[in-house]
Chain A
Amino acid sequence: MNETIGYIFIGIGLLFDFFGCLGLVRLPDLYNRLQASTKCVTFGTCGVMLGVFFIYGFTGVGIKAILCAGFLLLTAPVSAHAIARGAHIRGFKLWEKSVCDKYEEDNL
């Protein structure tokens, strides 16, 4: 039973990974690409790690997998925010059909 739940989680994680990378290739803008590809982390790789935890249970490998998932959940938004802030400070333009730019308005 636990193994079935784990394989289902791994499958959902692979699907999220694929759609995140599709967004990374297809979307028009740096910030849109960043927003789509961060979905790779939150349920893609964390889903795979959760599946590993469900398959192994509370053994050494399972605890390490849940530790790795928690570490990813802590660090991935930080690195995404750092990339977006750096790119905005450097002055990379938004897509021309973008509606608003709150960060620019706040820093005037």
Chain B
Amino acid sequence: MRVLRWFLGLILFAGLMVLNFTVEMSVLLRILNPLIICCFLCLWRVGFGPTPADRVVAIDILGILIIGFCGILAVFTKKDFFIDIAIAWALQSFIGTIALAKFLEGKSFDE
């Protein structure tokens, strides 16, 4: 059963890779597709995480992935303001994660 699940996952991964490089689409979309799949995996963990700490970890990683999105968009659309968005998003994500971790300890925000 375990081997079968591993094999199914491997087939899914290989199929997605082949589809990514054979179906007709733009170069930007070909590069962004793995990040979109990563975001959906993180959203799955946010939705079905057994404990609240799992959700906090997934939200943190989702913010990090969006920073990577902004970097790739800045390269491929030749617009400069995406990097500014990335820096601002890094700051906001850090503050939010620290606040959520403080909330996870069982204290209130002003302690």
Residues A64 and B90 in contact, CB atoms below 8 Å apart: no
Residues A83 and B41 in contact, CB atoms below 8 Å apart: no
**Distance A30 CA – B87 CA, assembled complex (angstroms):** 28
Q: What string of 1s and 0s marks CB contacts (under 8 Å) between B68-111 and chain A?
A: 10011011000010011011001100100110111111100000
Closest chain-A Cβ to B31's Cβ sits at a distance in Å of 7
Once A68-B86, A86-B102 are accepted as A-B contacts, the answer to whether A17 and B68 lie under 8 Å apart by CB is yes
Residues B68 and A13 in contact, CB atoms below 8 Å apart: yes
**Distance A108 CA – B89 CA, assembled complex (angstroms):** 39
Once A34-B57, A75-B94, A87-B53 are accepted as A-B contacts, the answer to whether A24 and B42 lie under 8 Å apart by CB is yes
**Distance A11 CA – B46 CA, assembled complex (angstroms):** 26
Residues B57 and A48 in contact, CB atoms below 8 Å apart: no
What is the interface residue range for chain A against chain B? 35 or more
**Distance A12 CA – B86 CA, assembled complex (angstroms):** 19
**Distance A48 CA – B90 CA, assembled complex (angstroms):** 14
Q: Which residues of B contact A80 (CB under 8 A)?
A: 60
Q: Which residues of A contact B61 (CB under 8 A)?
A: 20-21, 24, 37, 40
Q: Which residues of A contact B65 (CB under 8 A)?
A: 17, 21, 40, 45
B binding-site residues for A, Cβ under 8 Å? 31, 34-35, 37-38, 41-42, 44-45, 51, 53-54, 56-58, 60-61, 64-65, 67-68, 71-72, 74-75, 80, 83-84, 86-87, 90-91, 94, 97-98, 100-106
A binding-site residues for B, Cβ under 8 Å? 6, 10, 13-15, 17-18, 20-22, 24-25, 30, 33-34, 37, 40-41, 44-45, 48-49, 51-52, 55, 60-61, 64-65, 67-68, 71-72, 75-76, 78-80, 82-83, 85-87, 89-90, 92
